[in-house]
């Protein structure tokens, strides 16, 4: 893949803002539009832009596949773990109201962590699929 300098510079400029926006969508998802899925996809898209513009090996050095492989599972485990935590505290599975003294706060924490789990899984799976496709090219 031949690399255009202008595209590389612009992509490097945009790259941190895309990641920042992804984090904003992730953690602001309970107030504004967005949530774990959208944030994960935007995060992955940011890294993919970096990989396409700067080079796949640089992106792989930044986010190595060996790191993504466990993260794929960790996201799902966080989600399930929050559900189990609710059970340990005497509620139903995935009932967040028992996570804190105030049910509203419990719901808030529950949704925050569940969305985090979704975000981690989505971002790492999307990147993994992209890496797998790109690895087939050369």
Partner 1 sequence: MLVATATAALWIRSLFAVTMLFSIYSLLAASLFITLDAVDVAFTEAAVGAGISTVLVLTTLARTGYRQRLRAQSVALPMTVVIVTGAVLIWGTADMPRFGDPLAPVHQHVAPRYIEDSPHEIGMPNMVTSILASYRGFDTLGETAVIFTAGVGVLALLGIRRRAPTRAQSPEDASRPSESESEHG
Least Å distance, CB 88 to partner 1, is 16
Chain positions 61 to 120 lying near partner 1, rule: CB under 8 A, are 61, 64-66, 69, 72-73, 75-76, 79-80, 83, 94, 96, 103-104, 107-108, 110-111, 114-115, 117-118
H helix or E strand, kind and range, residue 50? helix 36-54
Q: Other CB atoms closer than 10 Å to residue 55's CB: what's the count?
A: 14
CA 133, CA 138: separation in Å to the nearest integer? 10
Q: Structure tokens of 25? A: 């969508």
Q: How far is CA 36 from the centre of its chain?
A: 7
Residues contributing to the site for partner 1 (CB under 8 A) = 25, 29-38, 41-42, 44-45, 48, 52, 55, 57, 60-61, 64-66, 69, 72-73, 75-76, 79-80, 83, 94, 96, 103-104, 107-108, 110-111, 114-115, 117-118, 121-122, 124-126, 128-137
């Amino acid at each position: 893949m031949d690399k255009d300098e202008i595209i590389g510079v612009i992509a490097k400029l945009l790259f941190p803002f895309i990641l920042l926006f992804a984090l904003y969508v992730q953690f602001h998802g309970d107030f504004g539009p967005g949530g774990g899925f959208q944030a994960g996809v935007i995060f992955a898209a940011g890294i993919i832009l970096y990989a396409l513009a700067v080079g796949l090996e640089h992106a792989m050095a930044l986010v190595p596949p060996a790191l993504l492989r466990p993260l794929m599972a960790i996201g799902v485990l966080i989600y399930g773990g929050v559900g189990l935590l609710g059970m340990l505290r005497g509620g139903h599975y995935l009932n967040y109201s028992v996570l804190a003294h105030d049910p509203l706060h419990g719901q808030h924490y529950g949704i925050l962590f569940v969305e985090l789990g979704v975000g981690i899984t989505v971002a790492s799976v999307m990147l993994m699929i992209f890496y797998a496709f790109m690895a087939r090219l050369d």
